[in-house]
Amino acid sequence: MPRGSSYRRQYPPEFRREAVELYRRSGRPLAEIGRDLGVSGESLRLWVKQAGIDAGQRPGLSSEEQEELRRLRRENCVLREEREVLRKAAVAFFARESETR
């Protein structure tokens, strides 16, 4: 994939955990470990940061909280769409009702 692409490779959670653990145990630079694992240093840095949040060592939303937030936003979007459909249906219904009177 070309650089700057919107493609994001997904890594299994177990791979991420092991990469973070390797970084913490080895004391080697992120970029070096990332190169060895075929992962960008920035990705590894973000995994280390998120692991700290999930462990309660850093402030921020845990992975579970982020997933719940994504789920609630999707649900909110669906509910807004449903409300809009009902609003349009009500307008059409009452417009016909007023024409028949």
**Domain range 9-60, CATH class:** mainly alpha
Distance separating alpha carbons of residues 54 and 20, to the nearest angstrom: 12
Domain boundaries of the chain, sorted by first residue: 9-60, 62-101
Per-residue pLDDT of the chain (101 residues; tens, 9 = 90+): 455 556 778 999 999 999 999 999 999 999 999 999 999 999 999 999 999 999 999 999 999 999 999 999 999 999 999 999 999 999 998 888 777 76
pLDDT of residue 45: 96
